[in-house]
Structure 1
């Protein structure tokens, strides 16, 4: 009798528990997917003026919103530090690169006071997932799983091969990490696809929960080395025989037709370091064409994988309640000429194969950054401007193009507002750095044309500096300390330096810069410049090339 009574109690308890679990209200807050590509220029997708086939991204743009002005930090690690924490890179500990220069602002990995978006959203009840490139701390204590991500697949440092051996060529094993376990990419697989495969795997597993998810997909394409699948390269055979001079004109015309560039927008002055296409020999043209064919193929493959992510959302019936954002970490990489040119460490196969260590180089990067001046690692618009697409059927009206003037520091506040999450003053006993950015939701939802931040945007990296305040921008390129001044409403291509006739504006913005630098931990680059940067990118252009970007 007593035994039967106990059994009854257990069954009743189990029934109540099962009923409670079944009727537990699901968390209906929006899902978030953040997609970042690497070293891709402002005009390298169709909806920003490109001839490269990017139908999936173009569809996101058509159904979502595009910014004409969205800023990054001009180079990989500092960009990712701002993106992941919502802080300026120095405040997060990565003011130079993932290299420790001995000061808190330059320690080379994310500090504990700068919470990652994964830490904040996980604490708020989100599943947090990442697939791709990390590059904000090489020590295992600073890996993604230790900074708030439930699951991670990808690589920790700044660059990776896309495949190792097989029909595509031969190269060393591709070293990766999955949830703190070191693994290698299986032979014959292509890393861009595998980044997506693992993201899809994480989404399938996460779908078993009642939580909303945050997924960060950090593709390394089209960062060097130029390696792509033969079938993708074949799509672009002969497309680039017109050369960079004609293609650049073609892109600016398309940008104006799309509304990405103002009809009165002038294209940036021709880079004197880039040779005229018509002056090249036949064999030189063949080599350069191949570079851009492979580069285009790498962007094309990213777009195909964006399509796969969208298909998974539809399959899981989560597409209507998911925000997707697409950006690039910096402008396209220059470094074409003189002693500053990147020299491939080895080439055991043709451009595009696993044995290729070539890269796009300045002549084509000059096209990729159309209509802007300069390249990656420089604070002119070509270095810090990215395409920005946001798609969210519930809140974003399709087809809009706005000025925007957003920055990486604005994404974390956007996610937290969308997730109805408060950024904590303290977490796990650590007092956090306050967030300097502003939510983008007023712009995304059509309530504003630009981000109302009430203060300038600032940049510094290896002595290269800039300030954006309203329509005005000052910029200086290391080792020079002279400020240039541009009116970006009339001259976003930065063709006309107005510093000599507007000294009061230069002085005002310069004063703003030094106040920001002091409170952010920025140190004069000459005082911390590494004698041996351990593979980190150079500080600035070589002497005599004041408007040329650099390479990693």
Structure 2
């Protein structure tokens, strides 16, 4: 069926006279950006270029990631579960193949497969699936790479290095470099993507471009002119802003008029804050919005270059986020890095925090690193002129593992059984080609599964089974009628719980998942401790002293 869809798709392009070569593919990913943080999903933040892609393309209501940076990137790049790809926990080695902290050779990257199919393979941005140079992008199929290898980066390099503001360490085609003084990393990521497209246009090959923004991941650092655009916009506070976004989501058709809304009792009422506290919190959201705004500006430059090269009619673009917005402490137990400058500047190490993240993930429950919807839900916009119907919205219920088979379908690329002597893992996902091009619902034979740091979930049809570590008790939600996961039906539906839990156990064994209590590293919850220390007691999420 997959081969037939790809063949029919390519044939349809040929008979319309539009395909002189295989379609180009651009994959764009934001970092730590919530479900409602862009215009097409209800935000007030200025995202005209993403608005355009949505108006001319397709939006999915239900697209799933793996709740946190490295595991998401592992599945995105390989089409495998994060455990099968070798990043069951994070980009740290916990001593087992499923937890080695870098992509294994049996999990082929998008770049490796598409390169074999005749594509130029280009990447700009955040890697975060292997720190050792043997696992960098150029060693995993990318012809060109500019960006950073680890999980987070400053956005500015002030030139006068201190322990508070270190150099912004980057890599370009295996060479270590630093960001030039006066440059802003989000602009440099977009600028190198444009440069790579210009250079690639001199070939006769199609291209695959992966743009992995780190915006709006902490630290909160943005350009003054972008921050200025949002001065005063967030004086209404998070309570009113969340109501605004939810109303807009209902108007857009992203959520139903009667959808459930997830509460968070840890978020204080805006009116309970002092004037000075409100001023500080406003500043955080102004900078966060500015970071997303600048990311969208970069997407506009990529679109303009695509048009100038006359390749826009033959290019599929997919935009997603790697996980929900960041709530709580970063991470629980880690000592907060001290800022050496105001919020938004090069010395700022602040971040959005839970009260605003509750808005970002509207109307969903919980945050990054959680298996509740607020942690694993992402916007997805797919754009392909004259192939994807403009203004379309579909439920989708798709996952990261589905993008690799989709891209291979669109490219007509064969997925090899063996690559450079390694037997390739079979692809567990399904192609979204029929969903993108004809809005046919996905025919998925197996449920979707998650496990990361003890947080577990299963999604099958309307039902979602979920547990939140350290509890191992399963909760059950009817996502069709309760996307915000407000009514636990486990007691009323024990047979559904039993069926999905049994399916999870089978999947866990097949993917070498280890009980988190047996493998968890010492240190801050959810991350490895560089000093090997035990977790510290953190302040309650959203309750830090101002």
Alignment correspondent of 1:44: 37
For 1:162 and 1:495, locate their aligned partners in 2 and report how far apart those are by CA, in whole Å.
38
Task: Tell me if the contact between 1:27 and 1:212 (Cα under 8 Å) persists in the aligned partners.
Answer: no
Please state if 1:246 is matched with 2:243.
Answer: no
Please state if 1:351 is matched with 2:346.
Answer: no
For 1:343 and 1:409, locate their aligned partners in 2 and report how far apart those are by CA, in whole Å.
34
Q: Name the SS of the counterpart of 2:285 in structure 1.
A: helix
Query: Alpha-carbon deviation of 1:367?
Result: 0.4
Alignment correspondent of 2:231: 237
For 1:334 and 1:57, locate their aligned partners in 2 and report how far apart those are by CA, in whole Å.
25
Larger Rg: 1
Q: 1:62 to 1:379 in 2, by over 3 A?
A: same
Task: Tell me if the contact between 2:522 and 2:529 (Cα under 8 Å) persists in the aligned partners.
Answer: no
Query: Alpha-carbon deviation of 1:336?
Result: 5.0
Q: Name the SS of the counterpart of 2:406 in structure 1.
A: helix
Among candidates 441, 444, 459, match of residue 453 of structure 1:
444
Alignment correspondent of 1:189: 183
Task: Tell me if the contact between 2:450 and 2:457 (Cα under 8 Å) persists in the aligned partners.
Answer: yes
Task: Tell me if the contact between 1:463 and 1:539 (Cα under 8 Å) persists in the aligned partners.
Answer: no
**Superposition map of 1:403-418 within 5 A:** 403-418=395-410
Task: Tell me if the contact between 2:70 and 2:87 (Cα under 8 Å) persists in the aligned partners.
Answer: yes
Q: 1:501 to 1:539 in 2, by over 3 A?
A: farther
For 2:426 and 2:229, locate their aligned partners in 1 and report how far apart those are by CA, in whole Å.
48
Task: Tell me if the contact between 1:462 and 1:540 (Cα under 8 Å) persists in the aligned partners.
Answer: no
Aligned length: 519
Among candidates 512, 518, 541, match of residue 503 of structure 2:
512
Query: Alpha-carbon deviation of 1:403?
Result: 0.3
**What's the RMSD between the two structures over aligned residues?**
2.3
Alignment correspondent of 1:534: 529
Among candidates 186, 193, 207, match of residue 213 of structure 1:
207
For 1:53 and 1:165, locate their aligned partners in 2 and report how far apart those are by CA, in whole Å.
28
Q: Name the SS of the counterpart of 2:214 in structure 1.
A: coil
Task: Tell me if the contact between 2:68 and 2:323 (Cα under 8 Å) persists in the aligned partners.
Answer: yes
Query: Alpha-carbon deviation of 1:266?
Result: 1.9
Task: Tell me if the contact between 2:332 and 2:538 (Cα under 8 Å) persists in the aligned partners.
Answer: no
Please state if 1:437 is matched with 2:429.
Answer: yes
Task: Tell me if the contact between 1:462 and 1:478 (Cα under 8 Å) persists in the aligned partners.
Answer: yes
For 2:307 and 2:96, locate their aligned partners in 1 and report how far apart those are by CA, in whole Å.
47
TM-score by length of 1: 0.91
Among candidates 485, 510, 513, match of residue 494 of structure 1:
485
Please state if 1:387 is matched with 2:348.
Answer: no
Task: Tell me if the contact between 1:27 and 1:210 (Cα under 8 Å) persists in the aligned partners.
Answer: no
For 1:344 and 1:247, locate their aligned partners in 2 and report how far apart those are by CA, in whole Å.
27
Among candidates 62, 83, 86, match of residue 79 of structure 2:
86
Q: Unaligned 5+ residue runs, structure 2?
A: 1-18
Alignment correspondent of 1:156: 149
Task: Tell me if the contact between 2:78 and 2:110 (Cα under 8 Å) persists in the aligned partners.
Answer: yes
Among candidates 120, 124, 127, match of residue 113 of structure 2:
120
**Superposition map of 1:282-293 within 5 A:** 282-293=275-286
Query: Alpha-carbon deviation of 1:527?
Result: 1.1
Alignment correspondent of 2:476: 485
**Superposition map of 1:12-411 within 5 A:** 28-165=21-158, 171-269=165-263, 271-335=264-328, 340=332, 343-411=335-403
Q: 1:538 to 1:351 in 2, by over 3 A?
A: farther
Alignment correspondent of 2:414: 422
For 1:541 and 1:441, locate their aligned partners in 2 and report how far apart those are by CA, in whole Å.
47
Q: Name the SS of the counterpart of 2:438 in structure 1.
A: coil
Q: 1:285-314 CA distances to partner (integer Å, 9 max, x unpaired)?
A: 011000000000000000101100000000
For 1:377 and 1:539, locate their aligned partners in 2 and report how far apart those are by CA, in whole Å.
20
Structure 1 stretch 210-219 or stretch 200-209: which is displaced more? 200-209
Q: 1:98 to 1:234 in 2, by over 3 A?
A: same
Q: 1:466-511 CA distances to partner (integer Å, 9 max, x unpaired)?
A: 0000000010000100000000000000000000111110000000
For 2:425 and 2:537, locate their aligned partners in 1 and report how far apart those are by CA, in whole Å.
36
Task: Tell me if the contact between 2:159 and 2:167 (Cα under 8 Å) persists in the aligned partners.
Answer: no
